Amino acid sequence: MSSAIVLPRVMQVGAGASSEVASILSKFNCEKPLIVTDQMMKQLGYVERIELPLKEQGINCGLFADCLPEPTDESIMAGVAMIEEGDYDSIIALGGGSPIDSAKAISILGKFGGAMRDYRVPRDVSETGLPIIAIPTTAGTGSEATRFTIITDANSDEKMLCAGLGFMPVAALVDYELTLSLPARVTADTGIDALTHAMEAYVSRKANAYSDSQALQAMALIAPNLRRVYHEPDNRKAREAMMLGATLAGVAFSNASVALVHGMSRPIGAHFHVPHGLSNAMLLPAITEYSIEAASERYADCARAMTVAEPADSDAVANEKLLTELKAINKELEVPGFAEYGIEKERFFSLLELMAEQALASGSPNNNPRQPSKEEMVSLYTKIWEQQ
Ligand SMILES: [Fe+2]
């Protein structure tokens, strides 16, 4: 059996990679890019940092800096209008997962029209939109190297998963220096998101030899450095390892899919506006505990790759160590429980059935080694609330 592997055409990786944006644009014969980003990137001077080397080469960019965290189909429409009305030939996506996901949607909608709802799974979006050069500033969502975008339906609060070659950036500029000034909370949330990508890709029913190799290496890079970057933001070696690990984790899950943690996490993000990485972190230990019996060898490999278990440990011992480590990471990185975060108990319990339905509809739970029914997901949400 073979697997189709999809990657960006160029990955520029390492210190200063983002300053290569002009030469990357010229490789693709692009002369008029629209920068898609958010206000924070503008305020922190990141936009200027990307624009300057372009101006020096005589390239003037358009700017759409109104991307929202957890983007909705409404929030991207002003960017779509800019593509429709301007004569842009490319998009530079700058920021965390939200601007990159927004840019992917703007690229397709700007060229082909329609509503984002039309492009959600199970449709395979293979149309070629405007070429995207993705510059991630977190380590991270891995969106710079995935064929996915997540856009929330503003009416129903459903997080719509959209997939296909059309959402794969042509180039990813993976520059860990952009993460040196990230606040601790964002560092922790996006770092645990990346770890979750690697673990879920490795235990996914769609895992393959290629995605396994990327996932194991991602775990080896991320796990020993997660605490370091949280406590020592200026640790360049640790930041570099996290950035590379996050991109490899993106490659892994783009080619193997995520599973139950992401499936159950998206509705929490949509209904209670919990940042994506944080809602994953809240779920990761309990969902791993639930899933482990169906893939104990695979989870033991995760523990060994993360170097929390010895190579000689039995699978059972490695699995115990993995669960202990995931709980310890959450404690040390101060991941709150649902109630502690401010989620109202009554509303949470009134939405359980709907959240379980939405998780199932995304398709991600079907990739999990242990596939839960809707009722089991309701029980899992309940158990996690009670444990915290
Ligand atoms: Fe994620």
Does residue 373 lie in a domain region?
Answer: yes
For position 321, which CATH number holds? 1.20.1090.10
SS3 131: coil
CA of 368 to the centre of ligand 1 (A): 15
Q: Which of 163, 179, 195 is the last residue of a domain?
A: 179
CA of 75 to the centre of ligand 1 (A): 20
| Amino acid letter, residue 203 | V
Does residue 4 lie in a domain region?
Answer: no
Quick one: pLDDT at residue 388? 76
Query: pLDDT confidence of 70, banded at 50, 70, 90?
Result: confident
Residues 110 and 224 in one domain: no
CA of 127 to the centre of ligand 1 (A): 24
pLDDT mean over 31-56: 95
Does residue 311 lie in a domain region?
Answer: yes
How do residues 243-259 score in pLDDT, each as one tens digit? 999 999 999 999 999 99
Residue 204 in tokens: 């996914």
CA of 277 to the centre of ligand 1 (A): 6
CA of 172 to the centre of ligand 1 (A): 17
Query: For residues 250 and 198, what is the distance between their CA atoms, to the nearest angstrom?
Result: 8
Residues 140 and 285 in one domain: no
Query: pLDDT confidence of 96, banded at 50, 70, 90?
Result: very high
CA of 232 to the centre of ligand 1 (A): 23
Residues 241 and 327 in one domain: yes
Residues 152 and 205 in one domain: no
Quick one: pLDDT at residue 369? 98
CA of 164 to the centre of ligand 1 (A): 17
Residues 306 and 174 in one domain: no
CA of 265 to the centre of ligand 1 (A): 9
Residues 256 and 369 in one domain: yes
Domain count across the chain: 2
Query: pLDDT confidence of 376, banded at 50, 70, 90?
Result: very high
The 10 Å Cβ neighbour count of residue 77 is 16
Residues 53 and 15 in one domain: yes
Quick one: pLDDT at residue 156? 86
How do residues 106-143 score in pLDDT, each as one tens digit? 999 999 999 999 999 999 999 999 999 999 999 989 99
CA of 62 to the centre of ligand 1 (A): 29
CA of 65 to the centre of ligand 1 (A): 23
Query: pLDDT confidence of 159, banded at 50, 70, 90?
Result: confident
CA of 256 to the centre of ligand 1 (A): 13
pLDDT above 70 covers a percentage of the chain that reads 100
Query: pLDDT confidence of 72, banded at 50, 70, 90?
Result: very high
Residues 251 and 339 in one domain: yes
Residues 163 and 264 in one domain: no
Does residue 380 lie in a domain region?
Answer: yes
CA of 55 to the centre of ligand 1 (A): 34
Quick one: pLDDT at residue 135? 98
CA of 191 to the centre of ligand 1 (A): 10
Does residue 39 lie in a domain region?
Answer: yes
Q: Which of 145, 160, 179 is the last residue of a domain?
A: 179
How do residues 308-363 score in pLDDT, each as one tens digit? 999 999 999 999 999 999 999 999 999 999 999 999 999 999 999 999 999 998 88
| Residue 157, pLDDT above cutoff 90 | no
Residues 125 and 201 in one domain: no
Residues 159 and 222 in one domain: no
Query: For residues 270 and 72, what is the distance between their CA atoms, to the nearest angstrom?
Result: 10
Q: Which domain holds residue 160?
A: 10-179
Residue 149 in tokens: 């975008």
CA of 236 to the centre of ligand 1 (A): 24
Cα-based torsion angle of the residue sequence 381, 382, 383, 388 in order, rounded to the nearest 10 degrees: 90
How do residues 217-227 score in pLDDT, each as one tens digit? 999 999 999 99
Query: For residues 298 and 211, what is the distance between their CA atoms, to the nearest angstrom?
Result: 13
For position 113, which CATH number holds? 3.40.50.1970
Quick one: pLDDT at residue 192? 98
CA of 283 to the centre of ligand 1 (A): 12
Q: Which of 158, 179, 200 is the last residue of a domain?
A: 179
CA of 189 to the centre of ligand 1 (A): 10
Among candidates 377, 123, 122, which has minimal Cα distance to 268? 377
Does residue 2 lie in a domain region?
Answer: no
CA of 30 to the centre of ligand 1 (A): 30
What mean pLDDT, rounded, does the chain reach? 96
CA of 276 to the centre of ligand 1 (A): 7
Does residue 375 lie in a domain region?
Answer: yes
| Residue 203, pLDDT above cutoff 90 | yes
In this prediction the pTM is 0.96
Region of 271 on the Ramachandran plot (φ > 0 left; ψ -120 to 50 alpha; else beta): alpha
CA of 193 to the centre of ligand 1 (A): 5
Residues 140 and 253 in one domain: no
Does residue 1 lie in a domain region?
Answer: no
